[in-house]
Structure 1
Amino acid sequence: MKQQQHQSLWRWICVRVLTLAIGSVILIALCMWLRFVIQNLWILHHMPPALREEFALLRQQPALNLARFHQIVDERWGISYSDPSIASSDWITVGVLVVIVIPFIVVFGLRSARPLSAQVSRLATAAGAVARGEFSTRAEQIQKAPTELIQLTENFNAMTGQLERYDRELRASHVAMAHELRSPLTAAIGRLQGMIDGVFEPEPQQLNMVMKQLQHLSRLTDELHLLSLADAGQLSLNKSTLDLTELLQERAVWLKPQAEAAGMAIEILPLRPCLYLGDPFRLAQVFTILMENALRYAAEGKRLKVEIRTLLGGQEIIFRDFGPGVPGDFLPGMFERFTRAESSRARHSGGSGLGLSIARAICVAHGGTLRASLPESGGLQLTVFLPAVEF
């Protein structure tokens, strides 16, 4: 289907104004010309043939008999024909034409300006609805509006779409956040209340249980703070030259006890230096989160393959596990806060539901991306892309 072409606002206004102005002048001139043509044809048609031939000759050469020429004109066209008075028939005709043409100019002018007015009106109505918090509102597009207004309407609708999505995510995030924070807090308060009431003895085991819940609560608040900084574009990075291969190996060694306990082997390929300019601490967070994610949810696959690829535009690090994977419809919201798949990403597995959100936020802060896919042979593949930067 061919996309409709729209004019720019300046051209849109100029075309309509000039069309009305030139069209009005041409219309009045045409009417005056028709009036003279019809009058002349009428008078010449009713002249005797001999008089018509005499007048034709004098019309071509009035100097032959100027008095006779004016006599014929006065007799046939009337003495007022050459009267310079403002009350002459010519001026009266012009006045009548102007009076007749003005309503047409007004009607066609308003009709031509209608798309502009209608589009601005739709935008104003939609903006008022958005100001009232109705983020699902969209401004209707008027087909014959100028290009700038069409683009403004499209951008406005895209903006309201983003606002609607942010509002929906914020509401869902607030509910999930309240639930996630309430769980360890309630557990700690309940355990302390039990010790105060004498239900539990204030022994190290009980205190350690309270401490575990408080540590979990502290970790949640730290993670939420990091995500808030990332959303505001305030996540600071301390960049330095690092070796991605070495950093991945370091994280694998750090997680080796957990990997051995889960019966999983972490394989990093290729084992050659891969220099990059980034924040070692934040990138280590990303690699740790992705490795822990595989250890927590894909241990039955027994293997995590990490592959580094050097591309033309940067570095790509692929984390490929061979576990149960996730449902296909889970992929679009996989990196949202507090998101877990019902089966393989259960809360009891130990995750806060913020890890992948944090990993993506750090990748985005580096100008990169984090995406998920489902390989045909099964499992889950998480791909980190870090754009090339100058050292």
Structure 2
Amino acid sequence: MNRTRFASKSENSSLWNWICRKVISLAVGSIILIAFCMWLRFYIDSKWHEYRMPADVRAELARLVKDPEQNINRYHAIIDRWYGVDYWPPGMGITDWLILAVLVLIVMPVIFTLTLRTARPLSVQISALANAAKSVAQGSFGNNVTIPEHLPLELRSLSESFNGMSMQLERYEKELKKSHVAMAHELRSPLTAATGRLQGMLDGVFEPNETQLKMVMRQLNELNRLVEDLHLLKLADAGQLNLNIVPAGLSEIVREKMAWIAPSAGRAGMSIQHTQNLMLSGMVDPYRIGQVFLILMDNALRYAAEGGVLEISYEATPDTVSVIFRDKGPAVPDELLDDIFTPFVREEVSRSRHSGGSGLGLSIARAICEAHGGRLEVEKHEKGGLVFRVSLRKA
């Protein structure tokens, strides 16, 4: 029971108490070890000289050590002969012990004060980190700790990394809540429309004819497409998106998707200019990369049709190939540019009054590119519009 109580007390002690105990133990142990080593050095030296003596001289010296006054001259003669004139007996008298005690009483408080004063800021910072980490573990994201300049580099780096992690968790939590709200809204809209139309037919408000059923079917297809998009995005985020990566010509995939979207581009009044100045091949899944290209073209039609032109060109480095999509429509504000790839971000960063789409397209495009080991980046062009760059491994 006592052992359990002691262990519990030790586990519950604060870091500062732990440091104090360790410093005191180290100081006392160091003084004892130094004193013992000094005594041991003289003791071994004495025993070595005693070992070299003849047995009769050793016995005589043993008697004289107990009472040197019996024959003080003989005592000094033996000592000088076998130990040397500078020999001092390996022992400590009362005066020596008193001097050692006084030195310990004077020096140890100084050592304790200097050491603990140095360790106190470390204890305070680590305790602050522990309390902040406990708050984060309980769900209070965003808690930070102050970072004094006089701390060691490693502890400052740890504190900065913790603050960065806490802020990132807070941002993720906000984005997750926002995404859940948006997801519920996106799923509810077509479901509510289909349910309302069906209920109207059951109540006799609408005639259950082919036209009404097609309207319900469109809403259900929209709901199904949204669920499939969410499934694809989560697979990509989890690294479980199956890819059939082969060497493929990127310009051929682009031309195929241009032919697919040409009717919509004509209705929107947008022309697609394909500058095929390079014949480039990449290590890609043609179907998935085709999805990316189609998403970027469709995004330009939705939000940049008033610019009238979508330019598609290519760039290459020794290791990568890039397909560049540049529109000439209105660009998003600088502060919202990074959010353009966030799921369900549509109206907030929309470059047109009409929205359309589920707000998942660019998120899916970036996830597919990252699953290929590539990147999808966006920047504002100096002459207006946005530039999307798809960078992939060269074949």
TM-score range (shorter-chain normalised) is: 0.7 to 0.9
In the TM superposition, 1:338-357 aligns within 5 A as: 338-342=344-348, 344-345=350-351, 348-357=354-363
CA distance in 1, matches of 2:378, 2:298: 16
Structure 1 length-normalised TM: 0.75
Q: Does 1:150 align with 2:156?
A: yes
CA distance in 1, matches of 2:102, 2:90: 18
Alignment partner, residue 262 of structure 1: 268
3-state SS of 2:311 partner: strand
Alignment partner, residue 179 of structure 2: 173
Could you say if the C-alpha distance between residues 234 and 96 of structure 1 is closer, same or farther in structure 2, counting changes exceeding 3 Å?
Answer: same
1:93 to 66, 76, 99: 99
Alignment partner, residue 289 of structure 1: 295
Aligned amino acid, residue 351 of structure 1: G
8 Å Cα contact 2:340/2:349 also seen in 1: no
CA distance in 1, matches of 2:207, 2:282: 54
CA distance in 2, matches of 1:302, 1:83: 105
3-state SS of 1:270 partner: coil
In the TM superposition, 1:226-265 aligns within 5 A as: 226-265=232-271
Deviation at 1:105, TM superposition (A): 2.1
Alignment partner, residue 331 of structure 2: 325
Could you say if the C-alpha distance between residues 149 and 236 of structure 1 is closer, same or farther in structure 2, counting changes exceeding 3 Å?
Answer: farther
Structure 2 length-normalised TM: 0.74
8 Å Cα contact 1:340/1:347 also seen in 2: no
RMSD of equivalent CA atoms: 2.9
Q: Does 1:305 align with 2:315?
A: no
8 Å Cα contact 1:246/1:273 also seen in 2: no
8 Å Cα contact 2:283/2:393 also seen in 1: no
CA distance in 1, matches of 2:136, 2:93: 61
Could you say if the C-alpha distance between residues 201 and 221 of structure 1 is closer, same or farther in structure 2, counting changes exceeding 3 Å?
Answer: same
Aligned amino acid, residue 97 of structure 2: W
3-state SS of 2:147 partner: coil
CA distance in 1, matches of 2:274, 2:136: 50
8 Å Cα contact 2:271/2:309 also seen in 1: yes
Q: Deviations over 1:177-226 (max 9, x none)?
A: 11111111110101000000010011111111111111111111111111
Q: Which moved more, 1:247-256 or 1:319-328?
A: 319-328
CA distance in 1, matches of 2:349, 2:371: 31
Alignment partner, residue 194 of structure 1: 200
Alignment partner, residue 389 of structure 2: 383
CA distance in 2, matches of 1:122, 1:256: 61
Alignment partner, residue 215 of structure 1: 221
CA distance in 2, matches of 1:268, 1:288: 14
Structure 1 segments (4+ residues) deviating >4 Å: 82-88, 341-348
Aligned length: 320
8 Å Cα contact 1:245/1:271 also seen in 2: no
Alignment partner, residue 365 of structure 1: 371
Could you say if the C-alpha distance between residues 271 and 106 of structure 1 is closer, same or farther in structure 2, counting changes exceeding 3 Å?
Answer: closer
3-state SS of 2:310 partner: strand
Aligned amino acid, residue 373 of structure 2: G
Alignment partner, residue 138 of structure 1: 144
Q: Which moved more, 1:347-356 or 1:167-176?
A: 347-356
Q: Deviations over 1:69-96 (max 9, x none)?
A: xxxxxxxxxxxxx999844434322221
Could you say if the C-alpha distance between residues 324 and 344 of structure 1 is closer, same or farther in structure 2, counting changes exceeding 3 Å?
Answer: same
Q: Does 1:273 align with 2:279?
A: yes
- Structure 2, unaligned stretches of length 5 or more? 1-18, 36-72, 74-87
Aligned amino acid, residue 182 of structure 1: R
Alignment partner, residue 124 of structure 2: 118
Aligned amino acid, residue 111 of structure 2: I
CA distance in 2, matches of 1:149, 1:343: 40
Q: Which moved more, 1:364-373 or 1:160-169?
A: 364-373
3-state SS of 1:156 partner: helix
CA distance in 1, matches of 2:279, 2:91: 100
Deviation at 1:347, TM superposition (A): 7.9
Aligned amino acid, residue 244 of structure 1: L
**Percent of aligned pairs sharing the same letter:** 54
Aligned amino acid, residue 145 of structure 2: A
CA distance in 1, matches of 2:282, 2:380: 28
Could you say if the C-alpha distance between residues 349 and 111 of structure 1 is closer, same or farther in structure 2, counting changes exceeding 3 Å?
Answer: closer
8 Å Cα contact 2:304/2:351 also seen in 1: no
- Structure 1, unaligned stretches of length 5 or more? 1-12, 30-66, 68-81
CA distance in 1, matches of 2:336, 2:115: 55
Alignment partner, residue 43 of structure 2: none
